[in-house]
Amino acid sequence: MTDGRLKSLLNKLGDVRGREARSALTLCGFFFLITFTFYIIKPVREGLLISARPSWWPYADLATALLIGFVVALNTRLLNRLPRRTYLTASLLFFAACLFAFWYVFDVIQTTQLQTPVADSSGILFLLWAQMIILQNKVIPVFVFCFWADVFIAMSVTQFWIAVNDVIAPFQAKRLVGLFVTGGLFGGIAGAAVAALASYFRPNHLQDLLLVCPVLLVLAVVTVNVVYAGQRKVDAAAGNDRLAPAVRAGYAESFRTVLRHRYLLLLAAMVASALVVGTLINYQFKTVVRHVFETDAARTSFVAAFLFVILAVSTVVHLFTTRRFLRAYGIGWAISLAPLVLLVGAVAVFLIPAGLMLLWAWAVRGGDKAFDSTLSQSVRELLYIPVPEDVKYKAKIFIDMFVNKFGVGLGAGLYLILLNVRHFEYRADQPLALIRETGVLTLVFLAAWLGLTRLVYREYPDVLKPSIRKKWDQGGDVISRHVDVDMTLKIFNTIQSRERSTTLYLMNLFDLVHRKELTPELKDLLGIKRDEIEARGMETLFDVGGAGLFPGLEEAMDDVDLRHEIDLVFLLPAYQEIMAGRLSGIVASPSEVDRIEAAKIIGRMVANAPTLEALGQLLQDPSAEVALYALESASIHRTPEHVPLIFQRLGNPMLRGEAQTALAAYGPGIEGMAQPVLRDTGEPLELRRAVPEVLARVGTQRAADILLDELSRNEEDLEQALIDALDKLRDERPQVRFREKSVRAEVLRLVRKACDIVLNPPGEPGQAEAALDIRIKRVFDLLTLVYPREDIIKDYQNVLQGTAKAKAYSLEHLDTVLDREIKVLFLPLLEDLPSDERAALVRKALRLK
Amino acid sequence: MAAPLVIKTREVKHVVVFDIEGEMRRHDTPQVTLSSLVQGELDRGRRNIVFNLAGVGFIDSFGVGEILASFKSIQDLGGKLKLCRISDRLLLIFKITMLDKVLDILEDCDRALDSFDSA
């Protein structure tokens, strides 16, 4: 079958994308075979146990809980020492061999029950001594088998998810987990069906069922080897050695790992409380089954039929709901659904009459089992996704094998205490009373489970974050970290002014000294250290080794008193009077240098009427350099009548930056004057595009509100400038709040625009891709307004240039934090998909035919 | 009289090279700016850019602003900007103003182009 056809087949059961089809199918097959096996084993185990005395039930579970630690230790050691493929193969073959041994034991017991004389069923005489031992200790094989079955179930499921973690990246896992669970459910149905049919047609030979299992396990061995052989090829091609490093950790280290991580601890507690609830419900169920059915065969047959029906129902529910539920409501609701539904069931036990007991047991145990096989199983595995790889294996083995059994053990212990305290052993004729009293305990642990789901979910995004690293610093951050941009520009202006006039140069120098202590290198560069005046041509402007201006300049610059004296001169009434008369003449002068000097000096002068009038004229000067100095002076005086003149300068790219600086210097209050300019379609577009930056620099709440309002007007030509301004505001003014509802609406609008590019690509493929990249960047910039900025920047960077794994973590983080409406459209745009597949997903998300 | 600014664009191995000649300074008549040309290339999906400053005799604060604005736009999109064949005098000013800490400055343009491959 071709990859394409295989993918379309698998897509009916899950969400398979790109080249995942083969690995997804093999993993699905692996899980099918494992669950097929343990749903044959499970009814046999349950049937044997229910037929034992009820007070023994908890002992079986307790024995498992106590002994599982040794198995975990052995398992961890094997996992550490053996290559993953060898480890899985060996353990599956070991389980297959055990099944032959159990078959032999139960066959001996069964044969003696049917035939009075002791006979060697195998026909091998030297095994007679073994048969004698078995027959003298019939209870022990049942307990050993129960323990072995628990170990097999726990280990095989853990091994399957280890294989998934080896082969599938995190974000893939979220989509494919549904497919795997489907495989598991089909396996469960097949196993339960075989067990039910066998117990119906051969009620006295249930042990023969165990002979089916080794065949299935050998097939599982083949599947495992196919999975790992295929993955090695993929990894080799991608230069990825994901399988190479084995995580080495002992049992104690696994335990310490869980203790060290709050998230894992909460996860372990959640799993344990769920298991306590499941165990208690199981005892309630067993009590009812024992009460209703009288023979071993009837009980085994009922359990097998029950499992078959529950798994069939689970499969149908899973196929139609799990994926949709996860996509629609996310992990948060998915982990809470099971405890919520079971809570209703647990309360119902106090209300039902005795006649409805079996129905109640069906519903509640069935509900627990159904959730456990579908949604809860999927979500439980997804909760490991954010955990770093090195921690994940340690924690998973510990939680899956030890905490699981601890939960069962705790449930068993509590049940045992309850039996002893309430003497239920003697009230076995009143099963309703027994299940109600057990129900009180169930309610307590359901409440704990529910509370823990909330805590786990709250921690989930934070656990993802360490796996998402920043790829590069934002351009603005790099610049501001190393350079005082304002100062640098002034240095360049000062150097340039040397070509214009000595006066201008000196004024600029004094400004620089006012602002900052100059370094010796800078003084040298500016010519302060030289001891003779020399006019300079352009060609020697940067000849820093050349001569300077006049003797004693360096000392003069450092003389604070002199600088103070100069400041006082500007305040002299006589100076102001004389300069007022002179300014009008200078402004009209044909000499550009005179006008530049005037524009500069006005910034130091007192703001009286003649000065401001002259400044107004200089702001409109045709010379860019004159206007440059005039804008600088205007930013000092900040007179309202100059604002329209400054706004006009925004249209000139040569002066835009200085005009923005001058307007921003006006501070709060300028927003009201900026908004009409921004909206005035009669103004040049370039001018309007420069306004959002002014608002960003003003940085007030009102500026933020105006920028958002303007963005919602959906004027395509202003979109980039508005988003850049909002992003800058968010970065520089963390105290400013953005109306979440408005931002989310805008994000959604932009995402839809990006979807439009996917559905109707403009021009050539490269052009569409570039347009999509720009749209995606805008969406991320807007997302920073309502989510932690650093997190969103990291997500963007990793989606753009991260490794496959880093990208998967970022997508997972976005999937967790974004609104459903946004993410269903946005995430397909970010995934690595062929364009037709992406278009299909977007079309589906938009519900287009 | 200031030498007019001439910017030519070419593409070498998926890297956009701007060959800049003349004076990067404020002019009385508005003209196409370097940063707007860079933005155009970014909009076309190009992310790796080189400024060849061999023909640049003078840079004022406007020119520096243009280079920094270009750097910021490129960097934020995960791209790289490299400057090559910058004059010794300009390099000295860049060093003193610490712009050399921000901008990736290489002696010759072939090395600048090769450095994208090795990144």
Instruction: Indicate if A542 and A451 belong to the same structural domain.
Output: no
| pLDDT value at residue A536 | 41
pLDDT of residue A171: 65
Please indicate whether, in this complex, the C-beta atoms of B71 and A479 are within 8 angstroms of each other: yes
* Lookup result for tokens 């329209």: A644
Q: How far apart are CA A110 and CA A199, in angstroms?
A: 14
Tens digit of each residue's pLDDT (9 = 90 or more) over A194-228: 888 887 777 666 677 788 889 999 999 999 888 88
Least confident of A39-53, A261-275, A422-436: A422-436
- A284 in a domain, yes or no? yes
Give residue A428's pLDDT: 54
Best residue in B66, B76, B87, B100 to probe A by mutation, most A CBs within 10 Å? B76
Q: Are residues A734 and A840 in the same domain?
A: no
Confidence of residue A251 (pLDDT cuts 50, 70, 90): low
Residues A732 and A814 reside in one and the same domain: no
Task: Supply the CATH classification number for the domain B6-118.
Answer: 3.30.750.24
Q: With CB atoms and an 8 Å threshold, state whether B93 touches A474.
A: no
Q: What is the pLDDT of residues A368-401, one digit of tens each?
A: 988 887 788 778 777 887 787 778 777 877 887 7
Query: Exposure pattern of A99-135 as b/e (b: 16+ CB <10 Å)?
Result: beebbbbbbbbbbbeeeeeeeebeeeeeeeeebeebe
Domain span at residue A151 reads 3-238+247-467
| Chain A residues with CB-CB distance to B47 below 8 A | none
Residues of B in contact with A488 (CB under 8 A): 61, 64, 97-99
Neighbours of B64 (CB within 10 A): 23
Query: Where is pLDDT greater, at A674 or A765?
Result: A674
Tally of structural domains, chain A: 4
Within a domain: A701 = yes
Phi (first) and psi of residue A843, to 5 degrees? -60, -40
* B-chain residue closest to A626, CA distance: B28
How far is the CA of A373 from the CAs of A70, A188, A492, A635, in angstroms? 27, 9, 70, 69
What does A550-581 look like in DSSP terms, one character per residue? Answer: STTHHHHHH-HHHHHHHHHHHH-HHHHHHHHH
Query: Same structural domain for residues A421 and A543?
Result: no
User: Looking at the predicted structure, is the pLDDT value of residue A638 above 90?
Assistant: yes
Q: Where are the domains of chain B?
A: 6-118
Domain boundary among A561, A595, A613: A561
Do A721 and A829 sit in the same domain of this protein?
no
* A487 found inside a domain: yes
The percentage of chain A sitting over the pLDDT mark of 70, rounded to a whole number, equals 85
The span from the CA of B55 to the CA of B7, in Å, is: 10
For residues A500 and A428, membership in a common domain is answered with no
More confident residue, A53 or A590: A590
CB spacing of A624 vs B26 below 8 angstroms = yes
Reduced to 3 states (helix: H, G, I; strand: E, B; else coil), residue A203 is coil
Same domain? For A689 and A762 the reply is no
pLDDT digits (tens, 9 = 90+) for A89-128: 998 999 999 988 888 887 777 666 555 444 455 555 545 5
A35 Cβ contact partners less than 8 Å away, ≥ 6 residues apart = A183, A184, A185, A186, A187, A188, A191
Chain B nearest CA to A488, separation (Å): 6
Taking CB atoms and an 8 Å limit, are B98 and A483 in contact across chains?
A: yes
Give the one of A476, A489, A542 whose C-beta lies nearest to B90's C-beta.
Answer: A542
8 Å CB contact of A489 and B61: yes
> How high is the pLDDT of residue A117?
45
User: Is A650 a member of any domain?
Assistant: no
Both tokens assigned to A749: 């609008």
Chain A CB contacts of B73 below 8 Å: 475
Same domain, A704 and A789: no
Mean pLDDT, range A432-450, rounded to an integer: 89
Chain B environment of A479 (Cβ under 8 Å) = 68, 71-72, 102
Range of weakest confidence among A232-241, A347-356, A608-617, B77-86: A232-241
In A662-720 the beta strands, taken as DSSP E runs, fall at none
pLDDT at B118: 64
A314-340 residue pLDDT tens: 888 877 787 778 777 778 788 889 999
| pLDDT of amino acid A803 | 80
pLDDT of residue A113: 57
Structure tokens at A19: 């080249």
pLDDT at A484: 85
Across chain A, mean pLDDT equals: 82
Q: What DSSP string describes A782-840? A: HHTTTS-HHHHHHHHHHHHH--HHHHHHHHHHHHHHS-HHHHHHHHHHHS---HHHHHH
Q: CB–CB of A654 and B27 under 8 A?
A: yes
Structure token digits, residue B111: 């090395």
B chain contacts of residue A657, beta-carbon cutoff 8 Å:
62, 65
For A49-76, how does the pLDDT look when each residue is reduced to its tens digit (9 = 90+)? 777 777 777 887 888 777 777 777 777 7
Q: What is the DSSP string of B69-101?
A: HHHHHHHHTT-EEEEES--HHHHHHHHHTTGGG
Residues A186, A311: Cα–Cα separation, whole Å = 8
The answer on A160 and A18 residing in a single domain is yes
Residue that is last in its domain, among A561, A596, A626: A561
ipTM: 0.84
Residue among A475, A487, A542 minimizing CB distance to B72: A475
**Which of A654, A660, A693 to mutate: most B Cβ within 10 Å?**
A654
| Greater model confidence, A506 or A752 | A752
**Quick count: other Cβ atoms within 10 Å of Cβ A612?**
17
Residues A409, A453, single domain; the answer is yes
Task: Give CA–CA dist B114/B102, Å, rounded.
Answer: 20
A744 shares a domain with A733:
no
Residue A445 has pLDDT above 90, yes or no: yes
User: Considering just the CA atoms, what is the radius of gyration of chain B in Å?
Assistant: 13
Residue of A497, A450, A503 whose CA lies nearest to A276 = A450
What pLDDT, on a 0 to 100 scale, did the predictor assign at position A528?
67
pLDDT band at A661 (very low <50, low <70, confident <90, very high): very high
A556 falls within a domain = yes
Mutation site for B-interface testing, chosen from A473, A483, A518 by largest number of B Cβ within 10 Å: A483
Euclidean distance between CA atoms A234 and B108, whole angstroms: 40
- Going from the C-alpha of A8 to that of each of A166, A185, A234, A266, A837, the distances in angstroms are 24, 20, 21, 39, 12
Place A658 in a pLDDT band, splitting at 50, 70 and 90: very high
Q: Nearest-CA residue of chain A relative to B28?
A: A624
Are A770 and B43 a contacting pair at CB < 8 A?
yes
C-alpha distance from B69 to closest chain A C-alpha (Å): 9
Q: Quick one: A400 and A346 in the same domain?
A: yes
A768 contacts on B by Cβ (under 8 Å): none
Q: How far is B28 from chain A (nearest CA, A)?
A: 5
Output the CA torsion A651→A656→A662→A664 (10° steps). 90
pLDDT of A515 > 80? The answer is no
Find, among A166, A165, A185, the residue nearest to A174 by Cα. A165
Q: Please, which residues have CB within 8 angstroms of residue A233's CB and are 6 or more apart in sequence? A: none
Residue A748, domain member (yes or no): yes
Return the CATH number at A62: 1.20.1250.20
Find the closest chain A residue to B35 by CA distance.
A653
The per-residue pLDDT for range B31-61, each reduced to its tens digit, is 788 999 999 999 888 999 999 999 888 888 8
Which pair of structure tokens corresponds to residue A216? Answer: 């299935």
Residue A719: its pLDDT value, please?
95
Q: Do A773 and B77 lie within an 8 Å CB cutoff?
A: yes
Query: What is the per-residue pLDDT across B66-93, written as a single tens digit (0 to 9) for each?
Result: 999 999 999 999 999 999 999 887 888 8
